[in-house]
Structure 1
Amino acid sequence: MNDQLPSRHLPKSPFFVARALNTLQHFLHVEAVSGIVLLVAVAAALLWANSSFAHWYHDIWNQPVTLRLGDFAFVRSLHFWINDALMTVFFLVVGMEIRREIHEGALSRFDQAILPVLAAVGGVVVPALIYLSFNTVTGRSQGWAIPTATDIAFAVGVLALLGRSIPVNVRVFLLALAIIDDIIAVLVIALFYTSSLDLNGFMVASFGVLMALGFQRFGFNSAFAYVVPAFIVWAGFLTAGVHPTLAGVVLGLITPVRSAAPEIVPPVIRVETALHPWVAYTIMPLFALANAGVDLRNTAFTGGAQFVTLGVALALCAGKPIGVIGATWLAVRTGWCRLAPGVSWSGICLIGLLAGIGFTMSIFIAMLAFTDERFLDAAKFGVLLGSLISVTLGLGWGAEYAHRHREQGDH
């Protein structure tokens, strides 16, 4: 006789808690493994761009790709389709992560969210100030936002390498911090890295959003039904002068978080779970392969480019820890917040160091900030250098922290 109740008879609260924990575990697993895949893609791009086949690297990404519908032809480079189209799916997953965290995760309660929010703000302001201290001149100053974002995949991947001795609340704090970083980065892109705005484009995008909401209202459950409104929102943003990838964030934020009558899993979890592996294992590595190829042989660190590299690298490996740790200490010291159980100041230091790993969003912002290839390559190199230093420091500190935590557990 089976004494276990089937899942449909479980109390609602434990069921949703279990589901949330399973979603978190799945998310962390995918991010940890994808961090390794992303690292391989970065290494491949660097080797390719610095090999005798370097000319192929640039030729391939500049190949024109045509989207044709009858007499209408839309021609853009392969680089555009990766950075402006495929990355929209990346931002869609980001938007869904934000929506889910606001509904039932680390951002659902003010008292839980305020500490990582303050830490993230500190981790944005201090790196920006450090970068600007080296790059106040026109032409370089617009890169201030490059070192403000944390790469979730790399950061969680490093935590995975440190093993299970790292307390779960440290992982949750880092995850919340990285997600809030993404929110700030999205706002920065929308507010500071947009061209002249076309209101007609916003009208087209609004029509696409209303169409998606209408489909939800009428109970359209198939994800394929939303491809057309998603394309309309994307095209509207492109026409409006806003970076089209932000269409993904908008669509992610309006994805339902509650299950319909015949459903067990809410759409936001179902779609995110389906897309997340594709983003982690295909889109992000492809983005890395197409954008991390800096030719170090021909990079001229002159004319101010050296200050771009120095500003970005130092802002990541020093500014991020100082901002995160400093803001957290100030919030706790003033009595506004308390550290979660299991989170010590050594754990906060680890989080601060790992927050300095910036890749996907940092390089993405760099491409929006600079049209000068010298400054763009210098910024990319600064991201790679600062992230490498942060990984090294994070692994060193984390190994010692994990060792001390295991010893305390043994006693």
Structure 2
Amino acid sequence: MNSDIKNKTHRSTIVQSFLRFTKIEASSGILLLLATGIAIFWANSPWSETYFGIWKTHMTIGFSDFVLSKPLLLWINDGLMALFFFVVGLEIKREIISGELSSLKKAVLPVFAAIGGMVVPAIIYAAFNISEPSAKGWGIPMATDIAFSLGILAMLGTRVPLSLKIFLTALAIADDLGAVIVIALFYSSDISLQNLLLGAIFLVVMLIGNFTGIRNKWFYAMVGIAGLWLAFLLSGVHATVAGILGALTIPARTRIHPEEYSQRIRSLMDKYHEVFNQKSKMPSHEQLSVIATVKENTKNAETPLQSLEHTIHPWITFLVMPIFALANAGIILSPEAIPVATHPVSIGVLLGLLVGKAAGITFFSFIPYKLGFASLPEKIKWAHIVGLGFIAGIGFTMSLFISGLAFRNDEYLLASKIGLLLGSLVSGIIGFVILKISLKPSDE
């Protein structure tokens, strides 16, 4: 009986944490949309020179002979986005340890769906750009923007089953992992083995810190930023990969077992009531001692991974991602831009997101289902998977990021952004309509 109660309490805690996560991501989608609108307006306003000029402004840090000087845009894309990928890494590790990717049975469907949602869009893009210099952009339509996607689901209200949100989140996180692998393998250049080896040493130091029980966040921050991130930045492997690798070294164990923590807190609360004095307007020395002990036990009952994720995640979603969108989404909408919309890059990205994502996710989900390796989550039907596939065609943040890595040619970059915005917009609308029709009150 007690075991059942504990299991229900644990499941309830996980659900509450997930709901907090989805609310933050959905709100972030609104801010991303606002930042994108401001970027496009600014880029087409009388102050457009200011928009493009500000991101080219060089910022320099360093001392003595060691100096790093980069345009503001690169500090955002290489620096701030490394923090974004760090949080992505924390989410991936959490999902693998205790989430929807924690067991083969749970992971099969979203992982297969994510693979389909990456492979098919890449093939479609390649088909329109084969043997061309623009072929390098095949990774652009592979990504799913979790913030915008969950924002669309939030617009559908309470009729959306929790299982559908969980499936989309697991799919997007598996998709993010695939995107990071693609970035590391195909969008890094001029590799410096010396700096890469130095980065590997710092990574080993962080792993040793984990295994020896070091839980101090400043240890991981100092070694991760001054060591791992900087070494990767200078190595030629994109610095954002350091964010993912660094996140995987963060401890995910508690110092005390949840049951032991519960017993200790109950005992401390009893002690607190024993020394409680209603006449006093301030806590007594004994009460302060109990409070301090509660804080220490609480700190030992949470994992550094979850603590960091809860602390940094709001900063990433409400600050870093909108700044990234503001800096990267500015497109000049002029008559000269119309022919660019028919460029092979634009068509490849647009159809990759619009057709490739939905087709890939639906078909690759059907494979393990048909073979008996997986079943559809509770309250989810195939119409929902199709609608979700279109919503996953909103590639925004990660796709913009890969676009910047793939192209230095302004024409290709503009074409990819136009295809990305059109593909994401149409995919989101179609996905919303399909789910609006297929999600009836009986599905609530």
State how far apart, in whole Å, the 1-side matches of 2:230 and 2:249 are: 18
Match of 2:402 among 358, 365, 371: 365
Residue deviations 1:136-161, cap 9 Å, x none? 13311111110011000000010011
Per the TM alignment, residue 385 of structure 1 is displaced from its structure 2 partner at its CA by: 0.7
Indicate the SS of the match to 2:302: coil
State how far apart, in whole Å, the 2-side matches of 1:133 and 1:72 are: 45
Please name the residue that 1:384 is paired with: 421
Query: What amino acid is aligned across from residue 284 of structure 1 in structure 2?
Result: M
Per the TM alignment, residue 398 of structure 1 is displaced from its structure 2 partner at its CA by: 2.1
Is 1:257 equivalent to 2:294 in the alignment? no
Please name the residue that 2:343 is paired with: 306
Per the TM alignment, residue 353 of structure 1 is displaced from its structure 2 partner at its CA by: 1.1
Please name the residue that 1:393 is paired with: 430
Per the TM alignment, residue 366 of structure 1 is displaced from its structure 2 partner at its CA by: 0.7
Query: What amino acid is aligned across from residue 97 of structure 1 in structure 2?
Result: E
Residue deviations 1:148-204, cap 9 Å, x none? 110000000100110111111111111111111101101111111110322111221
State how far apart, in whole Å, the 1-side matches of 2:370 and 2:320 are: 42
Residue deviations 1:286-333, cap 9 Å, x none? 000000001122754668971111110111011110111111223322
Mapping 1:139-158, distance limit 5 Å: 139-158=133-152
Please name the residue that 1:198 is paired with: 192
Query: What amino acid is aligned across from residue 249 of structure 1 in structure 2?
Result: I
Contact 1:300 1:374 in 2 (8 A): no
Indicate the larger mover: 318-327 or 261-270. 261-270
Mapping 1:234-245, distance limit 5 Å: 234-245=229-240
Indicate the SS of the match to 2:159: coil
Indicate the SS of the match to 2:144: coil
Please name the residue that 1:288 is paired with: 325
Residue 299 to residue 107, structure 1, CA distance change in 2 (3 Å):
farther
Please name the residue that 2:315 is paired with: 278
Give 5+ residue unaligned stretches, structure 1.
none
Indicate the SS of the match to 1:66: strand
Contact 2:82 2:240 in 1 (8 A): yes
Match of 1:68 among 62, 65, 73: 62
Query: What amino acid is aligned across from residue 147 of structure 2 in structure 1?
Result: A
State how far apart, in whole Å, the 1-side matches of 2:340 and 2:40 are: 23
Runs of 4+ with >6 A deviation: none
Residue 303 to residue 396, structure 1, CA distance change in 2 (3 Å):
closer
Residue 42 to residue 304, structure 1, CA distance change in 2 (3 Å):
closer
Higher relative helix content: 2
CA-atom RMSD, angstroms?
Answer: 2.1
Please name the residue that 2:22 is paired with: 28
Residue 304 to residue 296, structure 1, CA distance change in 2 (3 Å):
closer
Give 5+ residue unaligned stretches, structure 2.
257-296
Match of 1:94 among 88, 91, 97: 88
Per the TM alignment, residue 42 of structure 1 is displaced from its structure 2 partner at its CA by: 0.6
Please name the residue that 1:80 is paired with: 74
Q: TM-score, length-normalised on structure 2? A: 0.86
State how far apart, in whole Å, the 2-side matches of 1:191 and 1:166 are: 37
Match of 1:131 among 101, 117, 125: 125
Query: What amino acid is aligned across from residue 406 of structure 1 in structure 2?
Result: P
